[in-house]
Structures are given as C-alpha cells and as structure tokens.
A and B are shown apart, each in its own frame.
With several copies, the nearest count.
Chain A
Amino acid sequence: MGTADIQVEVIIPTQTKYLDLIGCIGERLGRELENFTGDREALAYYLNLVLTEATANAIKHAKDCRPEDTVRISINIQADELNIKVYDHGQGFDLETVPMPDFDDPKENGMGIYFIKTLMDSVTYVRQGDCNVLEIKKHLT
C-alpha cells in the first residue's frame, strides 16, 4: 500500500463467521502502514482485535432484532489518525455505563469494550439516522 490514506468499507451479514475476515483485513492494513514508525506488528494485532470485538458486539446485538441484518465496517487511515466505524441496527447501549472489568474477580464477559478503550485513543457510540455507530480513533504519531 505505502501511501498514507486508506479507506475501506466492508458489509457483512450478522454472523460471527465473518469475524475472521474482518479482523484479518484490519491486521493486513495495519501491517502495510509503511509510514507508521511504531511497532507495526503490534498495531496490526490490535486492529485485528479491536475490529473483531466491535464487530462481534454489533453482530450479537443486531441479531436480536433482525436476523437478516448486516453490519457495516468502515476503516479510514490517514497519516496521523486511524478511524474505525462500526454501524449496527440493534437497540443500542450507553457506552459510558459499561464498567471496567473487575480484575480481582474476573468474569467471562465484559472485556471487549475494555480492550477497545485500552488499545485505542478514543471510543464513542452514538445514534446516527437509523443506526448506531461505534467510532474508534487512534493517533498514529
């Protein structure tokens, strides 16, 4: 790839079998960020993870409403910022009320949003038209 600007949009059915594909697209794009001076392998892994977690949540919660639904994922990479948007048609939720995992009493669930928040620089979740958007940003400098 080489040049800094990347814009890819992928639309998949709400099925977990597509997580592998989505994660790998992210990993691939991360690995090819030739202008990124940090640890590119680590960034590629984080992109895989963050896309997997965000898409898995969108699939899980969209599914409850409309099984025939799709999830749209947009990945935008500029020289200094990476931006991921995951659109779902589920009932939505309040990102602010999701608690941190309790490390002294670990649970099976509730680590996905924590991964996203920890590995990236900002996360928001807002209603936009007829869908919800989880928007994830990371500075690349």
Chain B
Amino acid sequence: MKLTLEKNKNFNVVWVQEERIDAHNSAGLKEYILNLLEEGEHNLVVQLEQVRFIDSSGLGALLSGYKNAASRSGKLVLSNIQPQVLAMFELTRLNRVFEIYLDVDEALANQT
C-alpha cells in the first residue's frame, strides 16, 4: 500500500497512492492509520483521489480508522472521493458516517 503523509498544523493528510484498495492491501492501510493514531496524530484527512476501486475490506479499513480516531477524541475525514468509489459509501450508508469533502483544502477549512 503506497501512502504519503503530509504533516499540517492540526491535521495530517494521508494521500492514498493506489488505484485499488482491496483485501490484498487494505490491511496495510488499516495498520498505517492505526500507527499514526498511536503516535499521537489524532486528526487525519485521507485523500482518495487516486483510488478508482474500493472493496468491502477497504471500506472496513477506513471505518476502523474512523472509530479509532473517535475513541482517541480525534477525527478521520475523507476527501477527493471518485464517483464510483463514493457509490460504495452510499450503498453501505457509510457516507452518513464519514465527513466527506471535495478536496483537502475544504476538509482542512472545516476543522477547528
């Protein structure tokens, strides 16, 4: 799972550099987010622009991060979701769970 991290003042941005998140690489995403949270980075934007495909394990990895951030009084939000990927969030109603932003700027502007 190729990921890059951009550190900001209060929010870190995780750029997912893969076209596909499935059961082969979703555990890597889950662990990466968990490690960040454990290192004390409790506020994350996950930037998903590159991602053209996500399966249930990928949604699960993001949900795991969301829950773990919340349990640490932090926050995990999403940005730049492609339409076909967004459709998967809608099918599972996870679009009602996550805060979803058009881009990273909008995501950061909405945090306080």
Q: Which residues of A contact B (CB under 8 A)?
A: 16-17, 19-20, 23, 42, 45, 48-49, 52-53, 56, 59-60, 101, 103, 106-112, 114-115, 118-119
Contact = CB atoms under 8 A, between A and B. Distances in A.
Nearest to B22: A19
Given A17-B24, A45-B84, A60-B23, A112 B56 contact: yes
Given A23-B53, A52-B55, A106-B97, A114 B24 contact: no
A107 to B, nearest CB: 8
A20 B58 CA distance: 13
Given A16-B23, A56-B23, A45 B53 contact: yes
24 contacts: A16-B23, A19-B23, A19-B24, A20-B24, A23-B53, A45-B53, A45-B84, A52-B23, A53-B55, A56-B23, A56-B57, A103-B92, A106-B97, A107-B63, A108-B60, A108-B61, A108-B64, A109-B56, A109-B60, A111-B59, A112-B56, A112-B57, A114-B56, A115-B55
Contacts of A49: 53, 55, 88
Given A20-B20, A56-B23, A106 B94 contact: yes
A60 B57 CA distance: 12
Interface string B27-71: 000000000000000000000000001011101110110000000
Nearest to B27: A16
Nearest to B91: A118
Q: In terms of DSSP, what is the predominant structure of the interface of chain A?
A: helix
B9 interface: no
Interface string B75-110: 000000000100110011110110000000000000
B53 to A, nearest CB: 6
A19 B56 CA distance: 13
Q: In terms of DSSP, what is the predominant structure of the interface of chain B?
A: helix
Given A20-B24, A56-B57, 20 more contacts: A16-B24, A19-B24, A19-B55, A20-B22, A23-B20, A45-B53, A45-B84, A52-B23, A52-B55, A56-B22, A101-B92, A103-B96, A106-B93, A107-B63, A108-B60, A109-B56, A111-B59, A111-B92, A115-B88, A119-B91
A53 B55 CA distance: 7
Given A49-B88, A56-B57, A118-B91, A108 B63 contact: yes
